[in-house]
Amino acid sequence: MRTLNPPLGPLSVDQFMRGHWQRKPLLIRAALPDFKPPLSPEALFELATRDDVESRLVSQPRGRWRLDRGPFDAQDLPARTRRAWTLLVQGVDLHVDAVHDLLARFRFVPDVRLDDLMISYATDGGGVGPHVDSYDVFLLQAHGRRRWRISAPRAIELLPDAPLRILSHFEAEQEWVLEPGDILYLPPLWGHEGTALGECMTYSIGFRAPSRLELLRGFLADCADSVGGSDPRFGDRGLAPTRTPGRLPEPMTRSLAGWLADWRPTKRQIDDYIGRFLTEPKPSVWFEAQARPPALSPWWEAAQRRGLRADRRSRLAYRGRHLFINGESFEMPSGTSARLRRLADSRELPPDALRATPVDSDLARTLHQWFCAGWIHHSR
Ligand code: SIN
Ligand code: CO
């Protein structure tokens, strides 16, 4: 996956990041001129039949919002001639190379901030109602036309009893009709409502940002799983008899409070967890380990001839001497770090990056291990 030109029209990446990212919306006409959607509606419907793909159907029978969750067989979907329904398929980049490749256009933002590419298909009048998202999004019009209406962040109230998060009050301040190849960028919490004008497909390139609570929950669970060493247990030798057995014993409260107040994660625990947390694969992703792992030596010869590439579902990031891949942390042995960083930045290692390296090197062994886990593959 190379890093391709950002689809920001006349704006440079610097101008976009300074003026718009997390600040204000931007409409980019012909951001991807001559864009041809890599996926037909039929191929999207096919993806929605799979149980490893998250899909949702939004419709409004008799004017009431309805949400159904996939997988959907062909007969579960309304006819294409029926008005105002939307099929949303999440994480299409995890399943279709050509869609995954589109994300290379957005790598001016670090990979760990990218979430996924969702595709929506809608018939005329279809949409998911006015709402806000917690994350930045680029809405790429892939096929047909869609009207977008937006409003600045404000206190929100949701429709009661609706199966989706829909704003009960929404007054648009700006609106545009997007044509194929146009992009609308929205920062988090901007109100927006998209309505299909005829049959329409929209690609949402969505970002992610952990909340403090999400991070803390995961971190504390991780620490609890990995407490090693001694585990002192409370004791109260010499305890005086009590006449108020319902009262919390003060010495016990003080001891336990001390354990909590004095607990400190180490810097190493913190740094390690952040890298693992940010490269954790999506919950729907399972890597198939090689049933019969190839012997190192012929495998390395093939890797040197063909090069290696990251699986499209693999998440990689590095910091200092550590490389994080798919929620695991590796300390990079000396002599490997330039190439492992290159793998994270370009998601591939061409033959010339591997050629001079012997089979008994740390690099060959590490990459072989990742290949056997299904995280990287030979290049095509
Ligand atoms: C859609 O594509 O219909 C919805 C995308 C969004 O509003 O985030
Ligand atoms: Co949205």
SS (H, E, C) the chain: CCCCCCCCCCCCHHHHHHHCCCCCCEEECCCCCCCCCCCCHHHHHHHCCCCCCCEEEEECHHHCCEEEECCCCHHHCCCCCCCCCEEEECCHHHCCHHHHHHHHHHCCCCHHHEEEEEEEEECCCCCCCCECCCCCEEEEEEEEEEEEEEECCCCCCECCCCCCCCECCCCCCEEEEECCCCEEEECCCCEEEEEEEEEEEEEEEEECCCCHHHHHHHHHHHHHHHCCCCCCCCCCCCCCCCCCCCCCCHHHHHHHHHHHHHCCCCHHHHHHHHHHHHCCCCCCCCCCCCCCCCCHHHHHHHHHHHCEEECCCCCEEEECCEEEECCEEEECCCCCHHHHHHHHHHCEECHHHHCCCCCCCHHHHHHHHHHHCCCEEECC
Report whether pLDDT(366) > 80.
Answer: yes
Q: What is the pLDDT of residue 245?
A: 97
Q: What is the pLDDT of residue 321?
A: 96
- Is residue 133 lining ligand 1, measured as CB closer than 6 Å? yes
Please name which of 107, 196, 91 lies closest in space to residue 143, comparing C-alpha atoms: 196
118 CA: nearest ligand 1 atom: 2
131 CA: nearest ligand 1 atom: 7
Tokens for 289, please give them.
């380990």
pLDDT digits (tens, 9 = 90+) for 125-150: 999 999 999 999 999 999 999 999 99
- Is residue 86 lining ligand 1, measured as CB closer than 6 Å? yes
Please state whether the predicted TM-score (pTM) of the whole model is above 0.85. Answer: yes
Over residues 46-70, mean pLDDT:
96
The angle at the Cα of 103, spanning 102 to 107, to the nearest 5 degrees, equals: 130
Q: What is the pLDDT of residue 2?
A: 60
For atom 1 of ligand 1, the residue with the nearest CA is 120
Distance 130 CA to ligand 2 centre (A): 8
* Residue whose structure tokens are 């409003």: 151
Q: Which CATH number fits domain 210-224+265-380: 3.30.360.10, 3.60.10.10, 3.40.366.30, 3.90.1170.50?
A: 3.40.366.30
Report whether pLDDT(351) > 90.
Answer: yes
Distance 294 CA to ligand 1 centre (A): 44
Q: What is the band of 380 on the pLDDT scale with cuts at 50, 70, 90?
A: confident
Across the chain, what does the average pLDDT equal? 96
Report whether pLDDT(227) > 80.
Answer: no
133 CA: nearest ligand 1 atom: 8
Using left for φ > 0, alpha for ψ between -120 and 50, and beta otherwise, residue 345 falls in alpha
Q: What is the pLDDT of residue 225?
A: 84
With a CB cutoff of 8 Å and minimum separation 6, the contacts of 66 are 58, 59, 60, 163
What is the phi/psi pair of residue 28, to 5°? -120, 105
Pick the ligand that lies closest to the CA of residue 133.
Answer: 2
Distance 73 CA to ligand 1 centre (A): 22
What is the phi/psi pair of residue 359, to 5°? -65, -25
pLDDT digits (tens, 9 = 90+) for 238-288: 999 999 999 999 999 999 999 999 999 999 999 999 999 999 999 999 999
CA pair distance 137, 115, nearest whole angstrom? 10
pLDDT digits (tens, 9 = 90+) for 3-53: 678 999 999 999 999 999 999 999 999 999 999 999 999 999 999 999 999
Report whether pLDDT(1) > 90.
Answer: no
Q: Which of 56, 123, 128 to mutate to test the pocket of ligand 1 (most atoms within 8 A of CB)?
A: 128
pLDDT digits (tens, 9 = 90+) for 171-207: 999 999 999 999 999 999 999 999 999 999 999 999 9
Q: Which of 120, 131, 166 to mutate to test the pocket of ligand 1 (most atoms within 8 A of CB)?
A: 120
Pick the ligand that lies closest to the CA of residue 147.
Answer: 1
The CATH number that domain 13-207 falls under is: 2.60.120.650
Q: What is the pLDDT of residue 181?
A: 98
Domain assignments of the chain as residue spans, ordered by start? 13-207, 210-224+265-380
Q: What is the band of 226 on the pLDDT scale with cuts at 50, 70, 90?
A: confident
Q: 25 preceded by cis ω (within 30°)?
A: no
- Is residue 202 lining ligand 1, measured as CB closer than 6 Å? yes
pLDDT digits (tens, 9 = 90+) for 82-96: 999 999 999 999 999
